[in-house]
A and B are shown apart, each in its own frame.
Chain A
């Protein structure tokens, strides 16, 4: 199988604090991972592409200094929401492409629900 985990699954924080979300591929290596954000009843919006060993590539309109991405190893990518504000409250989902596969299938993590008070 191909399992992706995220931690934490749910986090509540105060405005102005930073929150780190981890995305792990449990049974495969992934040079490439992706981070998405999803607001209620809306689509998944790609935020950035996380590449092991190089800088993340951010989509237009996503602030790289606010959403810090670190792809520390072939099984771990982290997203840090810095100085979080209530408008950052959302469902953050990561996905990973197994290095052994072609690029047809992305496996998604279970998501992290962030609430900023």
Chain B
């Protein structure tokens, strides 16, 4: 079977740094993506890692270790608008995405 694990919720304050971890167990792996979803909205693509290492895009960075089947999303200089659900997703063959259960991030003043 395929499974992805990430924390169900994380709370942090404005300006802080938060890391959301994701471990996965899948039958096929082509990469790991991260998506943000606000209540009632569509998922928005944040980042993608196919190879080991760190990818940085503005305040967001994502890391992947294929040997450890592990990745994380790092959010810096947190803002209130970052309060949302964050999903890691494994890329399977044919472009299929298998999503984790999501981490609800609450940013407090």
Known: A42-B101, A43-B102, A103-B30. A111 touches B94 (CB 8 A): no
Q: How many residue pairs between the two chains, A and B, have CB atoms under 8 Å in the bound complex?
A: 56
Question: Which residue of chain B has the shortest Cβ distance to A33 in the bound complex?
Answer: B95
- Cβ contact within 8 Å between A105 and B42: no
B105 touches A (CB below 8 Å) = no
A93 to B99, CA, bound (A): 13
- Cβ contact within 8 Å between A109 and B42: yes
B24 touches A (CB below 8 Å) = no
Interface size of A by Cβ–Cβ distance < 8 Å?
A: 21
B81 touches A (CB below 8 Å) = no
- Collect the chain B residues with CB atoms within 8 Å of residue A49's CB: 94-96
A34 to B99, CA, bound (A): 13
Q: What interface size band does chain B fall in?
A: 20 to 34
A65 touches B (CB below 8 Å) = no
Interface code A35-60, partner B: CB below 8 Å = 1, 0 otherwise? 00000001111100100000000000
A32 to B91, CA, bound (A): 14
- Collect the chain B residues with CB atoms within 8 Å of residue A70's CB: none
- Distance between B46 CB and nearest chain A CB, rounded to angstroms: 10
Q: Looking at the complex, which one of B31, B41, B45, B100 makes contact with A43 (CB distance below 8 Å)?
A: B100
Interface code A4-43, partner B: CB below 8 Å = 1, 0 otherwise? 0000000000000000000000000000101000000011
Chain B residues in the interface with A (C-beta under 8 A): 30-31, 33, 35, 40-45, 48, 50, 87, 91, 94-102
Q: Give the 7 A-B residue pairs with the shortest CB-CB distance, closest first.
A: A103-B95, A108-B42, A43-B99, A44-B99, A110-B42, A43-B101, A104-B48
